[in-house]
Structure 1
Amino acid sequence: MTCDVLGPQALDYMPCAYGASRLRFRGPARPTDGRFTAFMGGALTYGSFIERPFPMCVEHGNGVVSVNLGQPTMGVDMLLRDPAIPQLAGAAAVTVIEVPGAINLSNNYYRVHPRRNDRFVQAAPVLRRLYPDVDFARFHFTQHLTQFLRRHDPERFELVAKSLQRAWQRRMSTLLDAVAGPAVLLWLGEGAPPARGGLSGSGMPPLVSAAMLDALTPACAAQVQITYDAPDGQTDGKLFDATQERAAGRLPGPQVHEHIARTLVPVIDDLMIRA
């Protein structure tokens, strides 16, 4: 891969398109006219700052084409709304879905951008009534919004959190139903799924609990949970320019991607044999 697009050390993600999608995915483009594994997910699946993200490592490990549909701003809404993603998932031999957080989706309380699901667009009237003392014009991202609302009034935020979790549960069920072949639900975080979904900011999908994942078990061919140590600002093995150092330090490095791939390969291979 070349590394001269954003700066002397930045990574060329070789953006590519699939089908009728308006999104640009991590390249190089992979063939989809034969057997392949589809990978849906966020920044980890996309492989931000990583030359060989784990979908590519999986392909090197088992020789089956890997189609990387990751998006750094992914939420379950984007996975359901984009025309290319359900179509590719329907054609894939196996689909791996990195568990998305429950804050990056439109719900009864607020609306997010249809393609950049981490962007807060508008507060619903019910949220304005619940928090009449908050100026919502100050918020641009769902993480900032939800963390502020929780700090401002934890009891009122519980209503928002429960609504988000219910919406996440319904849409994840819809997504898994739309996947024609076997689906692997992949939990990636700095700890195991918590008993109660939180907003700890510790590298785990926000507001997703162990019980929420358990409820999806009947719709999955497998669930894989992988934990990793907090990056703590480490940037070894990552490619970025001077403006991206802080963001790069928040994400795990190449060793974690290799570990994810080694864990996934036998699971994917077994599902392909049984399919």
Structure 2
Amino acid sequence: MPYPTLVEEITGHSCVNLGCANGGIDTYLQDPDLMNIARQAERAVVQVMGAQNLSNRYFRVHPRRNDRFVEPTILLIKAFPEADFSEINFNKHLLQTLYRISPRRCNLVVEELKLTWVDRMREMLRGFKRRPVLLWLRYDNTRGADESVGLGPNPLLVDRKMIQKLGDDAAELVEIAVKPAGATGEMDRMSFGALETPAAAHLIGPRFHGRIATRLSAVFPPGPE
């Protein structure tokens, strides 16, 4: 069971999981109905999302499936005239390609993404009537990292300086180091189809969902008797 369900069992509060597959910050900011549901919560939790899935000055992402690369802007085309963008479908692949061409020029795009991430996170957090809890799941470097192209572990491109820039926009920061199920040997405790095995290996397993639920439950007010 995912951690929102476990939090509900522990605290007695009704918990609504608004997580969107392949959705980033833009998915939520562009969906007023979804954000309205979240803003009415007695206590909201915003999980830190990677910075690679944001439309910015260099490229555009799909409005809902934010992990998908839609098109480069003229700024990116000028910065990487040797790049062929026609066969790139995902943002991570885009950044890997740019890094292999030129780490120095790729860093310009990375810094743009980091600045954009801070601005969009501030916009999201400040939209709540009550400051939400910020949940930062820091993936262990043994899995989910791609150091060969300088992207680091999930959530991609997010570092402590970026979190600190959010200041008091969040009521509290819950930070937990996690490892994917493929590294912890928990895949036999998960349900998935044969074709989903590679994806399941990169997800966190039951042990860490339980750990997250325990930590989050401690910041919730007492539930109904």
Partner of 1:255: 207
In structure 1, what is the Cα distance between the partners aligned to 2:35 and 2:20? 15
In structure 2, what is the Cα distance between the partners aligned to 1:122 and 1:229? 33
Does structure 2 conserve the Cα–Cα contact (< 8 Å) formed by 1:79 and 1:86? yes
Does structure 2 conserve the Cα–Cα contact (< 8 Å) formed by 1:217 and 1:223? no
In structure 2, what is the Cα distance between the partners aligned to 1:264 and 1:246? 28
Match for 2:78 among 114, 129, 142? 129
Question: In structure 2, the residue corresponding to 1:105 is in which secondary structure?
Answer: coil
Question: In structure 1, the residue corresponding to 2:221 is in which secondary structure?
Answer: helix
Match for 1:148 among 74, 83, 97? 97
Partner of 1:223: 173
Partner of 2:66: 117
Higher relative contact order, chain-length normalized (CA < 8 Å, sep 6+): 2
State the shift of 1:191 in Å.
4.2
Partner of 1:163: 112
Give unpaired runs (5+ residues) of structure 1. 1-51, 193-197
Question: In structure 2, the residue corresponding to 1:187 is in which secondary structure?
Answer: strand
Could you tell me which amino acid in structure 1 is paired with residue 122 of structure 2?
S
Give unpaired runs (5+ residues) of structure 2. 142-149
**What TM-score results when the alignment is normalised by the length of structure 2?**
0.90
In structure 1, what is the Cα distance between the partners aligned to 2:131 and 2:13? 15
Q: Which moved more, 1:183-192 or 1:239-248?
A: 183-192
**What TM-score results when the alignment is normalised by the length of structure 1?**
0.74
Partner of 1:246: 198
Q: State yes or no: 1:66 paired with 2:15.
A: yes
In structure 1, what is the Cα distance between the partners aligned to 2:26 and 2:180? 27
Partner of 1:37: none
Q: State yes or no: 1:81 paired with 2:30.
A: yes
Could you tell me which amino acid in structure 2 is paired with residue 213 of structure 1?
I
RMSD (CA atoms): 1.6
Does structure 2 conserve the Cα–Cα contact (< 8 Å) formed by 1:76 and 1:172? yes
Question: In structure 2, the residue corresponding to 1:258 is in which secondary structure?
Answer: helix
Matches within 5 A, 1:163-242: 163-191=112-140, 199-200=151-152, 202=153, 204-232=154-182, 234=185, 235-242=187-194
Question: In structure 2, the residue corresponding to 1:135 is in which secondary structure?
Answer: coil
In structure 1, what is the Cα distance between the partners aligned to 2:7 and 2:136? 16
Q: State yes or no: 1:97 paired with 2:38.
A: no
In structure 2, what is the Cα distance between the partners aligned to 1:164 and 1:72? 20
What is the percentage of aligned positions where both structures have the same residue?
39
Could you tell me which amino acid in structure 2 is paired with residue 254 of structure 1?
P
Match for 2:5 among 56, 59, 68? 56
Question: In structure 2, the residue corresponding to 1:223 is in which secondary structure?
Answer: strand
In structure 1, what is the Cα distance between the partners aligned to 2:116 and 2:178? 28
How many residues are aligned here?
A: 213
Q: CA offsets per residue over residues 165-192 of structure 1, 9 Å max, x none?
A: 1111111000011011230110012249
Does structure 1 conserve the Cα–Cα contact (< 8 Å) formed by 2:181 and 2:200? no
In structure 2, what is the Cα distance between the partners aligned to 1:60 and 1:80? 29
Could you tell me which amino acid in structure 1 is paired with residue 70 of structure 2?
V
In structure 1, what is the Cα distance between the partners aligned to 2:88 and 2:60? 12
Does structure 2 conserve the Cα–Cα contact (< 8 Å) formed by 1:105 and 1:117? yes
Q: State yes or no: 1:265 paired with 2:217.
A: yes
In structure 2, what is the Cα distance between the partners aligned to 1:80 and 1:70? 13
State the shift of 1:230 in Å.
4.2
Does structure 1 conserve the Cα–Cα contact (< 8 Å) formed by 2:131 and 2:170? yes
In structure 2, what is the Cα distance between the partners aligned to 1:59 and 1:265? 9
In structure 1, what is the Cα distance between the partners aligned to 2:88 and 2:29? 25
Q: CA offsets per residue over residues 118-149 of structure 1, 9 Å max, x none?
A: 00000111101100001001110111111221
Could you tell me which amino acid in structure 1 is paired with residue 162 of structure 2?
M
State the shift of 1:258 in Å.
0.8
Q: CA offsets per residue over residues 218-263 of structure 1, 9 Å max, x none?
A: 1110001011234336412111111111111111111110110001
